[in-house]
């Protein structure tokens, strides 16, 4: 079928439901009645013989009288009998030879199949609500409104049961075994009673509410539906076999003769199907509450009617074979034992649907549609074959196979329409975008392939190719838009750069020529070409600056110019940060600390113009501190003192003034810091002998906390530290020690004492010391981890994170074994460990197990992250931070009260490195920076081009962990990460990334090989850009396992007698060692 441009063949007509719901898995065909009979009044009750040969209907004749109708399976009325009152319930034997009728005038009548006159008649004391008849018609049971059950035999001998416990309410449902040996009933008082033929109550069973219906299998498995929303299955002895709770009153039940299949309908709109053990085989929700269900003898087919005037027919696996919608309400539905006939009764009469006739009509309709398709040249071989298979199944009476093949045949036809529609829609898009001058050559190749497969009749393949075309087209349009925006932005940036570069007297004619050519390319909508030229123009200008050694000066000058403008836009703020980072890199390399301090100071002045919350204020303080240290290292002590005064860091200001020889001014600073100088009045004259005696007595009685507190009070801090070290095994003393050292800014000592406190725990993380001590050790480890990260001790940080992972494993195991109790802080420590190690599965499991506001708030953060709802995620993180972080003092800040008061963990949490919830909050907050993934990607790609496989793999891994809002193409990142890992021999890592691409594994591996083949070494190097402040990316980056060392690069391990060596440092280790004592590697 040749065509060009838009495809315009005819659309095949598909059954109405299939057109409206092309993706609906279960085709639902509308069934047509085989016959209907409009009774003059209501059809209140129906019964049908096993083969459908005899159909009994009871109801009303007019406003006063009732009527009984007998039909054959074709709908022919065999006879009719009028009664003085409406007929409320009927029953018939399996062969249709005898029938029983209950009337509202309290009369029970018994007929043979001829129906001329009743064989016998009995007036009872109350309205008859339910009837059942034995297989040979010998016995009849009737349940009445007054709570009595009556038992009759065919010679009218009445056996009236005398209840041991009279029912409080009417008997609304009854049953009898085929032999008549046993009978049973369900009452509105919520009980089920089981009797023998003599009327003896063998057992009774209580449900929670009124019993709506009972039914029994051939083995006397009794299924019960109750208003307590439960389905019960009872065995012959009256014991509960199984029970299932639904969401609404169970209105109707049924069970197969073998008991292997049971069903129930509920007011929760669901139809339930169970196996013999009570397992749910399937559950389907209808459009309205279910009023009646019925099941064939074999359990292969069943039906249900709902309050929306609809009857549904199911097979045993839950397929909806067809549905029938009435113009009036439906009161009941009944299926014959042989599953061929389904009766529907309601206010206007009775309707019969014959299964075989229904599927014959479906096949005829399908054949017409196939003929239409053939006429327009559609390849329908598959559909015709399936239709043939359906016809053969219909002859065998296997309606499930008929349904399955017919549905698949319809789907085969439907896929043609779907393919045609999709092709026309995508062609319209191509026509529109090609007019805009967009290069569509790549998606066009996919579209051409889709058209060819359509011509060949491969419609499913066509749909897949059109979907791929749409995906590529969307990507092309997105890239086009991005390139357009990028080119406009670059024109402004490059124009500014060239202007500034020319101010340094540097020739930029080549860059100007590229800028001019780029502007022409933008006018002709060649945005990709323009971007390439603009980038090249900027690089040439920057290269010229760098060759002259003026790059850092250029960046600093431009940043200064922007900052001097005052209030900056977010875009200008990012430019300032980028310029200063570039300048800092160069000044660091040159070791020009004064200019470095100027950069940091400029950055701090920029931060001061922003709106301040707690987090941004910490960033500002860090920037100022960085400037202070740079000026100090550059010898510009005066500038360092000036900035110390700016942030009220009186202690450092005093120290620098002392170094400058300005002792009097230093004395003022010491006084502001609340500390006496060395030249101040001697301590002995400031304190009384009594005070020293008190301290000495504390020390003698080993009251180290009290002694240290007294020493801090008189400002003998060094002595207080020594005393607290003596008592560091006590948690109060250790906490006091950490707070005192934090105020004294002796961070190395904090790290050393944290190391000592956790040293004993490294062999076995103290799971036997109790939950309180365990969480204290964990809290110390968290503080030590972030002290190590903040102050660049990467080696220690890796080892401590190993310790924390052991802590998590041992803690969770001990909690699961109930050897210790869980604590909130230990759980929070586990949460930050999961975040740092990238284990979101365990984090979600932890959140699920814990309750309370804290875990609810954390759950909301994770849910919004999973939904990729960035705005909601940001709000959730902010809410968590406001509610759970608490008071925290940043590095370099002073605690107003050094001594720990109250809860020790709260006292530790006031110190930035130890604040667990602050680290959780900041871990999530960093994900909001959408520019960070792009920068990581650029850095990783440069490392990849340099064939620095290990570093590149680490950055790609971190990138995948950071880009939670999918701003980048993760397939490409997984491919490159896999290529890195393959290059240094980590084949498992390569396989993991190949699988995570989501493309077929073989294709992913091929792409990895292709990327490796195209990778070429480059002379370019990536200059590390140190963070202006403490970098959250470094604090919270995912831990990457160091890959195996390449052959020929390993450090030869020391030879030891037992042949064991540390895999990291090569030092010998004992055979039973848990950790290397040299480097701390967990073995």
Question: What is the model's pLDDT at position 852?
Answer: 83
Position 209 pLDDT exceeds 50: yes
Question: What is the model's pLDDT at position 770?
Answer: 60
- pLDDT confidence tier of residue 775, bands split at 50, 70 and 90: confident
Two structure tokens written together for 314? 């199911």
Mean pLDDT of the chain: 80
The CB-side HSE value for 470 (13 A sphere, CA atoms) comes to 12
661-674 mean pLDDT: 84
Pick the residue with more confidence: 961 or 1019?
961
- pLDDT confidence tier of residue 696, bands split at 50, 70 and 90: confident
Residue 247 has a CB neighbour count (10 Å cut-off) of: 10
Q: List the Cα angle 807/810/814 in 5-degree steps.
A: 135
- pLDDT confidence tier of residue 605, bands split at 50, 70 and 90: confident
Residue 80 has a CB neighbour count (10 Å cut-off) of: 14
User: Would you give the DSSP letter of residue 914?
Assistant: G
Question: What is the model's pLDDT at position 201?
Answer: 87
Position 106 pLDDT exceeds 80: yes
Cα–Cα distance measured from residue 1072 to residue 183, given in angstroms and rounded to the nearest whole number: 74
581-585 mean pLDDT: 71
Cα–Cα distance measured from residue 344 to residue 340, given in angstroms and rounded to the nearest whole number: 14
Please give the share of the chain, as a percent, with pLDDT higher than 90.
27
Cα–Cα distance measured from residue 1076 to residue 348, given in angstroms and rounded to the nearest whole number: 88
Cα–Cα distance measured from residue 692 to residue 690, given in angstroms and rounded to the nearest whole number: 5
Characterize the bridge pairing of strands 341-346 and 349-354. Answer: antiparallel
- pLDDT confidence tier of residue 824, bands split at 50, 70 and 90: confident
Contact (CB, 8 A) for 73 and 357: no
Q: Comparing C-alpha atoms, which of 123, 82, 88 is closest to residue 103?
A: 88
The CB-side HSE value for 1041 (13 A sphere, CA atoms) comes to 10
Pick the residue with more confidence: 858 or 1075?
858
Q: Please give the full DSSP string across 118-169, using - where no structure is assigned.
A: -SEEEE-SS-EEEEEE-TTS-EEEEEETTS-EEEEETT--EEE---SS--SS
Instruction: From residue 384, give the alpha-carbon distance in Å to each of 259, 449, 453, 660.
Output: 39, 26, 20, 99
Beta bridge mates, 211: 226
Domain limits of the chain?
Answer: 16-26+361-433, 207-329, 528-673, 681-727, 728-927, 930-1022
Residue at token pair 């950071």: 962
Query: Which of 289-303, 548-562, 743-757, 881-895 tops mean pLDDT?
Result: 289-303
Please give the share of the chain, as a percent, with pLDDT higher than 70.
83
Fold of 528-673: 1.25.40
Question: What is the model's pLDDT at position 372?
Answer: 66
Question: What is the model's pLDDT at position 188?
Answer: 92
CATH, range 207-329: 2.130.10.10
The CB-side HSE value for 520 (13 A sphere, CA atoms) comes to 7
- pLDDT confidence tier of residue 666, bands split at 50, 70 and 90: confident
Position 41 pLDDT exceeds 60: yes
Position 5 pLDDT exceeds 60: no
Per-residue pLDDT reduced to its tens digit, 366-405? 777 777 666 666 667 777 788 888 888 888 888 888 888 8
- pLDDT confidence tier of residue 1017, bands split at 50, 70 and 90: very low
Cα–Cα distance measured from residue 863 to residue 964, given in angstroms and rounded to the nearest whole number: 12
Question: What is the model's pLDDT at position 1071?
Answer: 44
Question: Dihedral through CA 848, CA 852, CA 855, CA 861, nearest 10?
Answer: 110
Question: What is the model's pLDDT at position 221?
Answer: 92
The length of the chain, given as a count of residues: 1083
Position 1033 pLDDT exceeds 60: no
822-828 mean pLDDT: 89
Cα–Cα distance measured from residue 168 to residue 188, given in angstroms and rounded to the nearest whole number: 8
Question: What is the model's pLDDT at position 16?
Answer: 36
Cα–Cα distance measured from residue 742 to residue 732, given in angstroms and rounded to the nearest whole number: 15
Question: What is the model's pLDDT at position 49?
Answer: 94
- pLDDT confidence tier of residue 1060, bands split at 50, 70 and 90: low
Q: What radius of gyration, in Å, describes the C-alpha atoms of the chain?
A: 42
Cα–Cα distance measured from residue 814 to residue 828, given in angstroms and rounded to the nearest whole number: 16
pTM of the model: 0.46
Per-residue pLDDT reduced to its tens digit, 420-450? 888 888 888 888 887 777 888 888 988 999 8
């Amino acid at each position: 079928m040749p065509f060009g441009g838009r495809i315009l063949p005819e659309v095949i007509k598909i059954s109405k439901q299939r057109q409206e719901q092309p993706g609906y898995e279960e085709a639902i065909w509308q069934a047509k009645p085989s016959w209907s009979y409009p009774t003059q009044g209501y059809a209140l009750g129906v019964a049908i013989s096993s083969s459908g040969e005899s159909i009994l209907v009871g109801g009303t004749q007019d406003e006063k009288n009732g009527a009984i109708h007998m039909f054959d399976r074709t709908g022919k009325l065999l006879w009719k009998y009028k009664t003085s009152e409406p007929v409320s319930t009927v029953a018939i034997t399996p062969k249709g030879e005898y029938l029983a009728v209950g009337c509202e005038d309290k009369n029970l009548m018994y007929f043979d199949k001829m129906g001329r006159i009743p064989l016998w008649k009995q007036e009872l004391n109350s309205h008859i609500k339910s009837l059942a008849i034995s297989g040979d018609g010998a016995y009849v049971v009737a349940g009445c409104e007054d709570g009595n059950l009556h038992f009759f035999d065919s010679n009218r001998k009445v056996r009236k049961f005398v209840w041991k416990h009279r029912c409080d309410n009417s008997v609304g449902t009854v049953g009898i075994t085929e032999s008549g040996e046993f009978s049973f009933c369900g009452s509105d008082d919520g009980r089920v009673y089981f009797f023998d033929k003599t009327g003896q109550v063998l057992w009774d069973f209580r449900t929670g509410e009124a019993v709506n219906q009972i039914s029994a299998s051939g083995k006397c498995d009794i299924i019960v539906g109750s208003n307590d929303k439960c389905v019960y299955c009872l065995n012959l002895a009256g014991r509960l076999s199984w029970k299932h709770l639904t969401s609404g009153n169970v209105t109707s039940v049924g069970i197969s003769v073998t008991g292997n299949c049971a069903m129930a309908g509920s007011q929760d709109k669901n139809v339930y199907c169970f196996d013999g053990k009570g397992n749910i085989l399937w559950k389907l929700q209808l459009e309205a509450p279910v009023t009646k269900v019925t099941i064939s003898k074999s359990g292969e087919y069943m039906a249900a009617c709902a309050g929306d005037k609809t009857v549904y027919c199911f097979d045993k696996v839950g397929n909806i074979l067809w549905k029938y919608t009435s113009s009036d309400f439906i009161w009941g539905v009944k299926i014959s034992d042989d599953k061929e006939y389904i009766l529907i009764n309601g206010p206007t009469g009775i309707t019969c649907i014959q299964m075989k006739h229904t599927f014959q009509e479906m096949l005829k309709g399908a054949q017409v549609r196939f003929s239409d398709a053939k006429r327009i040249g559609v390849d329908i071989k598959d559909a015709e074959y399936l239709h043939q298979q359906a016809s053969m199944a219909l002859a065998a009476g296997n309606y499930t196979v008929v349904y399955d093949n017919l549905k698949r045949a319809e789907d085969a036809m439907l896929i043609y329409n779907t393919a045609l529609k999709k092709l026309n829609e995508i062609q319209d898009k191509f026509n529109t975008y090609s007019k805009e001058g967009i290069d569509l050559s790549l998606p066009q190749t996919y579209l051409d392939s889709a058209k060819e497969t359509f011509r060949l009749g491969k419609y499913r393949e066509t749909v897949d190719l059109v979907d791929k075309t749409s995906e590529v087209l969307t990507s092309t349009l997105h890239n086009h838009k991005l390139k357009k925006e990028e080119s406009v932005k670059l024109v402004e940036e490059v124009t500014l750069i060239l202007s500034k570069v020319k101010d340094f007297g540097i020739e930029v004619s080549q860059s100007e020529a590229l800028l001019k050519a780029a502007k022409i390319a933008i006018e002709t909508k060649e945005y990709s070409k323009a971007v390439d030229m603009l980038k090249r123009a900027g690089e040439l200008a920057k290269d010229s600056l760098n060759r002259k050694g003026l790059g850092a000066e250029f960046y600093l000058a431009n940043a200064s110019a922007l900052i001097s403008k005052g209030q900056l836009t977010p875009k200008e703020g990012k430019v300032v940060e980028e310029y200063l980072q570039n300048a800092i890199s160069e000044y660091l390399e040159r070791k020009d600390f004064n200019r470095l301090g100027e950069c940091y100071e400029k950055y701090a002045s920029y931060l001061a113009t922003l709106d301040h919350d707690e987090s941004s204020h910490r960033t500002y303080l860090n920037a100022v501190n960085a400037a202070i240290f740079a000026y100090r290292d550059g010898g510009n002590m005066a500038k360092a003192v000036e900035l110390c005064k700016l942030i009220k860091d009186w202690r450092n200001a005093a120290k620098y003034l002392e170094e400058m020889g300005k002792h009097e001014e230093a004395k003022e600073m010491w006084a502001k810091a609340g500390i006496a100088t060395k030249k101040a009045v001697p301590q002995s004259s400031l304190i009384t002998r009594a005070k020293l005696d008190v301290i000495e007595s504390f020390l003698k009685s080993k009251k180290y906390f009290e002694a240290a507190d007294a020493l801090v009070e008189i400002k003998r801090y060094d002595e207080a530290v020594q005393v607290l070290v003596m008592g560091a095994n006590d948690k109060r003393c250790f906490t006091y020690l950490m707070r005192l050292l934090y105020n004294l800014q002796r961070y190395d000592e904090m790290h050393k004492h944290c190391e000592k406190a956790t040293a004993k725990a490294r062999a076995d993380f103290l799971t036997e010391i109790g939950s309180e001590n365990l969480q204290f050790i964990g809290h110390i480890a968290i503080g030590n981890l972030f002290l190590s990260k903040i102050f660049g001790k990467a080696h220690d940080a890796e080892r401590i994170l190993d310790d924390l992972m052991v802590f998590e494993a041992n803690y969770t195991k001990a909690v699961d074994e109930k050897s210790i109790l869980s604590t909130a802080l230990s759980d929070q420590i586990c949460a930050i460990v999961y975040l740092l190690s990238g284990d979101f599965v365990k984090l979600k499991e932890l959140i699920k197990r814990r309750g309370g506001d804290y875990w609810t708030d954390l759950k909301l953060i994770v849910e919004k992250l999973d939904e990729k709802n960035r705005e909601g995620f940001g709000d959730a993180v902010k809410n968590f931070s406001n509610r759970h972080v608490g008071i925290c003092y940043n590095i370099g800040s002073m605690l107003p009260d050094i001594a720990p008061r109250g809860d020790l963990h709260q006292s530790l949490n006031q110190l930035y490195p130890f604040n667990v919830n602050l680290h959780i909050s900041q871990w999530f907050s960093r994900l909001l920076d959408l520019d960070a993934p792009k920068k990581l990607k650029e850095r990783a790609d440069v490392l990849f081009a340099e064939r620095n496989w290990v570093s590149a793999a680490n950055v790609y891994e971190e990138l995948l962990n950071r880009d939670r809002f999918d701003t980048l193409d993760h397939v490409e990142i997984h491919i490159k990460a896999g290529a890195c890992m393959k290059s240094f021999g980590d084949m498992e890592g390569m396989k993991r990334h190949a699988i995570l691409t989501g493309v077929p594994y073989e294709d992913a591996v091929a792409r990895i090989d292709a990327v490796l083949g195209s990778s070429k070494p480059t002379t370019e190097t990536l200059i590390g850009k140190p963070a202006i402040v403490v970098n959250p990316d470094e604090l919270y980056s995912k831990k990457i396992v160091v890959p195996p060392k390449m052959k020929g690069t390993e450090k030869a391990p020391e030879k030891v007698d037992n042949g064991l060596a540390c895999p990291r440092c090569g030092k010998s280790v004992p055979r039973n060692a848990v950790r290397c004592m040299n480097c701390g590697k967990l073995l």
